[in-house]
A and B are shown apart, each in its own frame.
Chain A
Amino acid sequence: MIIELKNIRFNFGSHHIFKSLNLKINTTNLYFLTGANSSGKTVLLKLLGLQLKPSGGQILIDDKVVNYNNIKELAKLRQKIGFIFDEHKLLTDLNVFDNIALPLRIMGENERKVREKTNSMIEWSGLKDKTRKMPNELSSSEQKLISIARSIIKRPQIILADELTKDLDSQTNQRIMLLLHELVKQNTTVVLSTHDHTWANNHKQPILIIKDHNVHLS
């Protein structure tokens, strides 16, 4: 999937986050996204994830301008994007299994396949004994794992993760990074936002740095 941001302007009221942002992600890779606090990392991820509508400019996906008025098309595009939220955003009325299975059910996947794929994701997350637990019965790192499993289960073409490592221990962190690298090999683009420059530098992957309302690739 090729995502291109052209002359993107985004502001919250009178506060400008981006004035004329240009960015093209056309190579399958694992990118780190860094920047100072409140520089707009989450906003950029949400723009890439089509969760926010820019105040100006255009977003192109596979060379086609995203039409925010075409709700069906927008939903289809969002189905190709996996988003891992900083605050997990699990549905509180659904148990672990149903939370992970949700994207497939939204996409109208056959229930037998839903079970198969969900069980394999639960296996990967190491939470097999907590399948029927509700989100409020899980720790923050377990919730993060469910959130990751939920975004990966539909095999998105791009994964956008906001502060991925925040609640995770180093062992789990390593396991997730291995998985993400594996997905990149299978042609998935990954963008990870982090405030930890050192951690980003250690991975020797391209880094997108937000500075002066614009994005620079290093």
Chain B
Amino acid sequence: MFFKPVIPLKFGSKFLGLIILFTAFLATLTAFAGVFTLNLTARWEKELANQIVIEIPFSSNMQYEAEKVLTYLQTNNASNIHVLKTEEQVNLLTKWLGSNFDTSNLPLPIIIEAEAKKTATLTDLKTGITILVPSAEFSSNQDALKELKKIATTTKWAMLSALFTLITTLSIAIFFASNSIFMAYSEEIETLFILGATPFYILRQFILKIVPLALKNSGTGAIVASLVIFTGGFIVDKSTLLLGGYDMLYAIIIALGGTIIITLSAAIYCANNFLKHFAR
């Protein structure tokens, strides 16, 4: 009899169900946005943070200076070293200046792309190269990344605030919904106490009703939200569906787990308060 409710509670579960469904839907969207932003930032950081572009200005001895830089890079923890060929530079310029522009007489610099290995930092590389070739100029993705990080951090806090608001709203809604259920069943609860039921026994009757309700509705909410995300992703980018790795899975786990835990906690908290009143 442990998992079978003794009292067939027929309380209006539509309102409670809708609250759970709607919260799970919003929580999944929010959690997905949060997880996705954090993962994207981490990916950008991993892929771009250590990249550096070294430009040796056009001069008569730029070949010699380039040799010095290359030797330095090869012996000082740099990898993926790539010297841009003249055709590659011309190709890049053509996009800006048009194909009719004569680039043959342009004083093109030597451009070297490299990536600092884990043990080295971009600052170390810059300092070393500047000593060898004082005229060398550098550009890295650090500035852009800083901006991206700011956006990601802001987004992260916005998501956390949204989740917190959702949790609070859900908790309050469940608390009051549970309270009205208990009020509606106060006579039955009183009779159960008189017949010798413990508060835990009575609580179990309600939990056995609320758990399937929470599971069903939070599941539906999460599935609907997933479909929205998948559809959105498909519209934006048909090949990747906007999703990287397990972002979606994590979001569903967070939203589902969160909604169910909050629903049960709020209901149990409410029940405990309510039953204390009857217990004596």
Q: Which residues of A contact B (CB under 8 A)?
A: 49, 51, 53, 68-69, 71-72, 74-81, 83, 89, 91-94, 98, 102-103, 105-108, 111, 150
Closest 10 CB pairs of A and B: A79-B196, A78-B196, A75-B198, A106-B197, A71-B279, A89-B191, A68-B280, A103-B195, A105-B6, A75-B196
Residue B245 CB within 8 A of the other chain: no
- The residues of B that contact A108 with a CB separation of less than 8 Å are 1
**B199 in contact with A71 (CB, 8 Å):** yes
- Bound complex: CA A103 to CA B196 (Å): 7
- Bound complex: CA A71 to CA B279 (Å): 6
Residue B97 CB within 8 A of the other chain: no
- Bound complex: CA A166 to CA B194 (Å): 21
- Bound complex: CA A78 to CA B194 (Å): 6
CB-nearest residue of chain A to B279: A71
- Bound complex: CA A76 to CA B198 (Å): 8
Q: Which residues of B contact A (CB under 8 A)?
A: 1, 6-10, 187-188, 191-199, 201, 279-280
**B198 in contact with A71 (CB, 8 Å):** yes
**A76 in contact with B10 (CB, 8 Å):** no
- The residues of A that contact B188 with a CB separation of less than 8 Å are 91-93
- The residues of A that contact B1 with a CB separation of less than 8 Å are 105, 108, 111
- The residues of A that contact B194 with a CB separation of less than 8 Å are 49, 51, 78, 83, 89
**B196 in contact with A107 (CB, 8 Å):** yes
**A91 in contact with B191 (CB, 8 Å):** yes
**B193 in contact with A78 (CB, 8 Å):** yes
Q: Given A72-B198, A105-B1, A106-B201, are A93 and B10 also a contact pair (CB < 8 Å)?
A: yes
CB-nearest residue of chain A to B8: A93
**A106 in contact with B192 (CB, 8 Å):** yes
CB-nearest residue of chain A to B188: A91
- The residues of B that contact A51 with a CB separation of less than 8 Å are 194
State the Cβ distance, A31 to closest chain B Cβ, in Å.
20
CB-nearest residue of chain A to B196: A79
Q: What are 9 A-B residue pairs whose CB atoms fall within 8 Å in the complex?
A: A49-B194, A51-B194, A72-B198, A80-B196, A81-B196, A91-B7, A105-B1, A105-B6, A111-B1
State the Cβ distance, B265 to closest chain A Cβ, in Å.
21
State the Cβ distance, B99 to closest chain A Cβ, in Å.
83
CB-nearest residue of chain A to B275: A71
- Bound complex: CA A102 to CA B197 (Å): 10
| Besides A91-B188, A94-B7, 5 other A-B contacts (C-beta < 8 A) | A71-B279, A78-B195, A80-B196, A89-B187, A106-B201
- Bound complex: CA A98 to CA B6 (Å): 8
